[in-house]
Structure 1
Amino acid sequence: MAIVEQTLDGRVSAPQQTQSTGWALASLSLATLLSSLGTSIASVGLPSLMQTFGASFQSVQWVVLAYLLAITTLIVSAGRLADMFGRRPLLLGGIALFTSASVLCGLAPTLWLLIAARAMQGLGAALMMALTLAFVAETVTKARTGSAMGLLGAMSAIGTTLGPSLGGLLIAGLGWRAIFLVNVPLGVLTFVLAYRALPARGKTALADRGKFDATGTALLALTLAAYALAMTLGRGNFGALNIGLLVAAGIGVMLFARVQTKVKNPLIQLASFRDLQLSASLAMSLIVATVMMATLVVAPFYLSRGLGLDAAMVGLVLSTGPLVSTLSALAAGRLADRFGAHRMMVIGLLGLAIGTFLLSLAVTKLGIASYVVPIIVTCFGYALFQTSNNAAVMSGVGAGARGVVSGLLNLSRNLGLITGASLMGAIFAIASAGGQPGTGQDILSSAAAAHGMQVTFQTATALALVALFLALLSARAVGRAEPTVS
């Protein structure tokens, strides 16, 4: 196994950035690809699953929801366990669990066994997502953190982009089971690389003194599950069940906070949220993910109804955003390393605000350019923010808390995506219905779709400006655009 010598704080010293570091980053990149591919590839198989199992959409949608809920509810706990028992064994366990669950998904004889296997797959993905960011600080020097974060961001975007197209080809050629079994060889390769290349370290000193907070973990998982279900059930139409789940989530937050102040070794140190940089970074991550979800939820309706594009052209135009995000993430990492993560974070959010403002204009007479040009600006700003934000947070976290903080970063993003799918979808539906007076079919008209696009991205622009304000506050609080962290 490749050996990587480290400094006392767990970082790899500059002269030792050898081939082993490259293989370690390759394994982390593949783990990121696996988890994002697992999110995007399953949705394209829902029609086939409805036909195969003779089930309703409400039933088969749990193939997607079970995976997302498992990640959302368990990702912080996964990070804490890794801080206690070592990141390497937990990451290897996550890869093995994800790969094994992929086999079970591909062989599942019934829909509900498939859903259960997807939940297991989501647990494996939670471990991978929580620990890949945490491992960066142990694999590369601080000067290269931004570049490494950019690489992981690019791999996440590739997985998200590749999923629907790869899934469609596999289903057409081999059937729906292939969309899960394709993860198996990739998972085995990832496990072998990670086993050979990732540095082995013991438990942190902080973890040695503590015990796992089972009560806090259970409360947090139930709270997050209640919130996620409130945002997803009913597909944006809030009813009594959604409201009840939101109330339950609110009560859960209060109970969780109370428990964390009482137990000796809490899951999350609530005092850490007094750190303006961390709190602002988590809030910005949630807000930006909410904004970006609008491009996935609203854009297809604008392109098909507002611009009158056929399905093939809609798919082609929609691929612009993920492609820009993939290419931009690599450049964003180098920019963050060279000019400072905080400075690039502010610039990224400014680009995001400009892009969403241009999208809010929705000038249909400009045709496809009315979407493509703004989305290029939006996705470049997003990639620059995401990479810089992750680099700024993880480079300033002590070795004993990297797993939890990495989990919190991923959690804030997931909650933003869930919130955005519900909130932005609801705003578009309401605005589109009010775009033209008349029948209930107005939501399908060109003018109504354009009006819905305008209102939705006006909201997105306002949220982007809030995130920009938080970034400026955070930069001011630390005194410089790129603070020195000991």
Structure 2
Amino acid sequence: MSTYSSSPVNRSIRTTVSGSRGAGWRWGALYGPAVYGVSAAAVALPATADHLANGSPALVWILTAYAVGVGVGAVTAGRMTDLWGTRPVLLTAAALLTAGAVTCAIASTLTVVVCGRILLAMGSGATMAVALTATAGLPAARRPTALAAFGACLAGFSATAPLAGAMATHWSWQVALALPALSIAAVPACLPLTTRMPRQAPVDWAGVGLVTATATGLLLLAQSAAQRPDTVTAGIAAVTATLTASLVVHARKHTNGFLPPATLSAAWFWFAAATGGCVYGGLFATLYAAPHLLARQDYTTTDIGVLLLPGAVIGALVARSTVRAARRQPPRRVLAVVSLVLAAGLAYAAADPRPWVLAATSTAAFTAAAVAQTLLTAYVSGRTGPRDGGGAIGLFILATFLGGAFGAAICAAHWDTARPAVSLAATAALPAVGALTACRLQ
């Protein structure tokens, strides 16, 4: 039996869901709309550009800000579930999603849109951390059934995301960008599955601030270096390096603080994080490039959604079959293969950006991301103790979505200054590196 399929039982979660039926479906419905924040929003980018009168490099903030917000929200919420329980975290997530949806609905400038997307992302990150931690913490006898239901929900949301984005854009581009708020509808069903810790431990807010600042600095550094390396880039690099060093020192001094030190010092975690981040980098680059390239070929928003829909459906089905195959083959091989397929798809799309090629590359991206998330989440949760399970999963989500932000930033940086082919070729290197790091997993 592969160690990827085992995970420790978080006692605070176990006492909540062990007696409830349909837990996998409920948590899947809570998590699922977070997928719309990437796939559905990507389809809406051309229409958003027309309404806001902004170029492609500026619009990438709609995706990258969401990615960083999801990561920060997930790592914060993940640790809070360890300290406070899942109920207060879930209610906080619902409040953030509501605030983000309202902000996006009234947005008329890119700055306001990005602020709304950050609020949405932090709420989505919190729902993701709660759902993943709760599902991974189910009793062993109930876990396979719940994971199957959870995966079916994610497959459904992933498959419908492009078309959902297109349909919402016809109503309003603001609505398309606010679709992650649909997670609120699942909160009443999930609330009975949650618990509150009898004694709520204090949160390491200094650690939260350092993680947020470091993640933002890394994103700014990637975009600045890709666009125009200069003294500003050097300054951002210096500040980011200082923040990173401060974060490491803080984590070592506060062993019971925000970040689980045992996870941070483990080589297996960084190989897993690098693999997930590189795959998501390829996914975000694909979702950024495909709608823009198809719009240049006179495809409407609806056309784009319909064209990408079969790829999303196929990707979801193939991902589930691939995950089952990982029970017979070493999961690291499965991860390496899907990463290489995505790298090849991006490289081919760089040379031949015809519609069917872009659709096929999107299929590879959806498949690789789904496989990486499923296998690596089980891998991470299976190597952490009950007290650090939520924090470790949240930290992993941060790493993967930060990788996605890098991929979109690199792709957008060369979009206007060079041919789109250069952008796609550059980002093809990310999943190729992910295949190498996947081979180091044990």
Q: Is TM more than 0.5 here?
A: yes
One of 254, 258, 267 as aligned partner of 1:267: 258
1:220 and 2:211 aligned: yes
2:259 aligned counterpart, secondary structure: coil
Matched, 1:192 2:188: yes
Aligned counterpart for 1:166 among listed residues 164, 167, 175: 164
Q: Structure 2 matches for 1:92-107, cutoff 5 A?
A: 92-107=91-106
Structure 2 residue runs of 5 or longer lacking an equivalent are 1-7
User: Deviation per CA, 1:152-181, whole angstroms, max 9, x where unpaired?
Assistant: 5664565455445334333434x3454467
Q: CA deviation at 1:344?
A: 2.8
CA RMSD of aligned residues (A): 4.2
* Rg comparison, structure with higher value: 1
Q: Distance in 2 between matches of 1:232 and 1:84?
A: 35
Q: How does 1:402-421 map to 2 (within 5 A)?
A: 402-421=389-408
Q: Please tell me whether residue 401 in structure 1 is matched to residue 388 in structure 2.
A: yes
Query: What's the CA shift for 1:296?
Result: 3.1
Amino acid at match of 1:133: L
- Listed as ranges, the matches of 1:11-22 within 5 Å are 20-22=20-22
- Note if 1:328 corresponds to 2:327: no
After superposition, where does 1:311-326 map in structure 2 within 5 Å?
311=299, 316-326=306-316
Q: Helix, strand or coil for the counterpart of 1:470?
A: coil
Determine helix, strand or coil for the equivalent of 2:387: helix
**AA in 1 matched with 2:98:** T
Shift of 1:128: 1.0
> How far did residue 104 of structure 1 move?
4.5
- Write the letter of the residue equivalent to 1:262: K
Q: Does 1:136 align with 2:135?
A: yes
1:255, 1:44 → 2: CA distance?
39
**CA distance in 2 between partners of 1:360 and 1:89 (Å):** 45
For residue 94 of structure 1, report the CA deviation from its aligned partner: 0.8
Equivalent AA in structure 2 for residue 120 of structure 1:
L
Q: How does 1:441-480 map to 2 (within 5 A)?
A: 443=419, 449=421, 457=428, 459-460=429-430, 462-471=432-441, 474=442
Rate the CA distance shift 1:148–1:387 in 2: closer, same or farther, 3 A: farther
Whether the 8 Å contact between 2:13 and 2:138 is mirrored in structure 1 is yes
3-state SS, counterpart of residue 282 of structure 1:
helix
Deviations 1:393-446 (A, max 9, x none): 22343221121111112111111101212335567889xx5xxxxxxxxx37xx
Identity of aligned residues (%): 22
Counterparts in 2 of 1:244 and 1:164: CA distance versus 1, 3 Å = farther
**Mean Cα deviation higher: 295-304 or 216-225:** 295-304
Change (3 A) 1:248 1:155: farther
Higher relative CO (Cα under 8 Å, sequence separation at least 6) belongs to 2
1:348 touches 1:384 (CA, 8 Å); kept in 2? Answer: yes
1:422 equivalent to 2:412? Answer no
Aligned partners of 1:236 and 1:422 also within 8 Å: no
Query: Following the alignment from structure 1 to structure 2, what is the Cα–Cα distance between the partners of residues 61 and 105?
Result: 16
Displacement of 1:454 in angstroms is: 5.9
Q: 1:106 to 1:11 in 2, by over 3 A?
A: closer
User: Residues 230 and 245 of structure 1 are in contact (CA less than 8 Å); yes or no, is this contact kept in structure 2?
Assistant: yes
Q: Could you tell me how far apart the structure 2 residues matched to 1:455 and 1:221 are? A: 27
Alignment CA distance shift 1:41-1:287 (3 Å): closer
Distance (whole Å) between structure 2 residues aligned to residue 381 and residue 63 of structure 1: 22
Query: Residue 246 of structure 2 aligns to a residue in which SS?
Result: helix
Matched, 1:202 2:193: no
Aligned ranges 1:33-72 → 2 under 5 Å: 33-42=32-41, 56=54, 66-72=65-71
- Note if contact 2:217-2:239 (Cα within 8 Å) is conserved in structure 1: yes
Q: How much does 1:327 deviate? A: 1.9
Q: Match of 1:468, as an amino acid? A: A
Residue 90 of structure 1 and its aligned partner are, at CA, apart by 0.8
* Cα distance in structure 2, aligned partners of 1:50 and 1:291: 22
2:125 & 2:180 partners in 1: Cα distance? 16
CA 1:166 to 1:10, structure 2 compared with 1: closer, same or farther past 3 Å?
same
Matched, 1:386 2:373: yes
TM (normalized to structure 1)? 0.72
2:21 aligns to what SS in structure 1?
A: helix
Asked if the contact 1:332/1:388 (under 8 Å) is kept, the reply is no
Indicate conservation of the 8 Å contact 1:304/1:310, yes or no: yes
- Quote the Cα distance in structure 2 between the aligned partners of 1:92 and 1:272: 27
* 8 Å CA contact retained: 2:26, 2:190: yes
Deviations 1:283-320 (A, max 9, x none): 22122222333433455677789xxx652676655445
Q: What is the TM-score normalised by the length of structure 2?
A: 0.78
Output the CA distance in 2 between the equivalents of 1:230 and 1:366: 29
Query: In the alignment, what sits opposite 1:122?
Result: 121
Separation of aligned partners in 2, 1:64 and 1:453: 17
Letter in 1 for 2:90: L
Question: How many aligned positions are there?
Answer: 431
The residue aligned with 1:482 is none
Aligned to 1:25: 24
In structure 1, the gaps of 5 or more residues are 1-5, 434-442, 475-486
Contact 1:106 1:178 survives alignment (8 Å)? yes
Whichever residue aligns with residue 168 of structure 1, its letter is A
Structure 1 residue 353 corresponds to structure 2 residue 340? yes
Q: CA–CA distance in 2 between the matches of 1:67 and 1:225? A: 11
Change (3 A) 1:231 1:73: farther
User: Offset of 1:266 from its aligned partner?
Assistant: 2.5
2:275 counterpart letter in structure 1: M
Q: Aligned in 2, Cα 1:236/1:44: closer, same or farther, shift over 3 Å?
A: farther
